[in-house]
Structure 1
Amino acid sequence: MTIIVHHLNDSRSQRVLWLLEELEIPYEIKKYQREPTMLAPKALRDVHALGKSPVISDTDNGDRVIAESGAIVEYLIRRYGSPKGKGSPTSEDGQIDDSYWSHFAEGTLMPTFVFKRILTAVPQRVSFLTRPLVSLVTSQILSAFVDPENNRKVEFIGNELSKKAGGWFAGGDKDGGPTAADYQMLFPLEAACGGRVPNVPQSIKDYVAKVHSRPAYKRALEKGGPYAYAKL
């Protein structure tokens, strides 16, 4: 049995490598580098029509191709983790939290993080003559909507994390390890600590540091190659 991870640098696919290392199942990595535009290369379209990463192929399941990191995390835990009791919460409350934070990561948190990245980049991609006006408009959108929204979200997460026994979003699995919620939440929290949001709560910084200290995360980092959020 082999999982093939189509891994794009500085992307959500890093969370998939971390999960695979925690589950201790064999996998291979096919690496792709972003274009100068920061978009994924066209070669990924040969794997999946949308040309996005992460994508995995499961050679033990008819070379099934699965995209979307949330779907990948859910699939790997259900198929390979749950039989060993790894990656799944041990209580009903934990299961509810696991579902909530797994959806929160991409449904609530990441959209405004991505919006900020786009608005920050736009002024550098227009003509010199229009740049001052575009910069004025984008900065007003950021200060009036995007930054306050991101700050509220991060403050909420920090407060919730400070209440979590064991330090995991859904309480951990039977061995006290991370669950789907943690794999999903790590990437945006790494981005927040990397400068996407100012004044990140200490509870979030401690959480990211705890994950980065795990042997499985370190192995994933070594195998995945350079990662912008590896040292925060």
Structure 2
Amino acid sequence: MDAYTIQIKHRIVDGGVYNGQAAINAYASEGIDTSGFASDPSAVSAQYFTNGVTTRTTGLDITARYTMDFGNIGKFIWDAAVNFNHTNVSNIAKDGNGNTILDAQQINYISTENPSNKLIFGGTWHRGKWDVTVHEIRYGHTISDLTYVPGPNAFSNSVFYEQVNKPRFVTNLEVGCQVLPQLHLALGGNNIGNAYPSRVPVDTSDYNNNKYDTSSQQLSEEGGFYYFRADLQL
């Protein structure tokens, strides 16, 4: 069991976004020519990193492992792990115009887009030259503030769509065989059920290019991954 609390003062984050003349001046100070946008200066934007916030992350990790020997049936090695964590954002700095460095969406990136809990349960069975490993993984819910694309709130930095992603389950499975003393072969898959992130509404999907909530840190949008592996000891 491992309990922890981590506080970061003046954490480096993406700062505010400036458009128009303020952005042009920022580029000019670095010797970058933006005259090609003279017909539409508002199209020029600049963003910077800054020591913008204080964050505190608290969490708890618990792991367990247990071996059961059933003789001719084989040996089972069970394992389980669970994590609970939460990140709180405070002391948000302001820019030169008196605006807060982070908006609601940026705070969301830090605090709620990662699952507040994760559970892994499974184990490995060994019998003779054969072994089977299986794990079930549960990711807790996440919340994403998504940007509207069309409509009156398109690309707003103050109005967002709250996407609540329910807990997700993933199964990993591998079957192996020690065919030679120096050679082990295995066939397996991660996310064998081919689970995907939650679908997002059309008006937040960037012209239907992003069908899934890729901001959430539960699952990737690539689905299942299957493999054949050979381990050779020389």
Q: Normalised by the size of structure 2, how large is the TM-score?
A: 0.26
Greater RCO (Cα-Cα under 8 Å, separation 6 or more): 1
Which of 1 and 2 has greater Rg? 2
Q: Normalised by the size of structure 1, how large is the TM-score?
A: 0.27
Task: Name the one with the larger helix percent.
Answer: 1
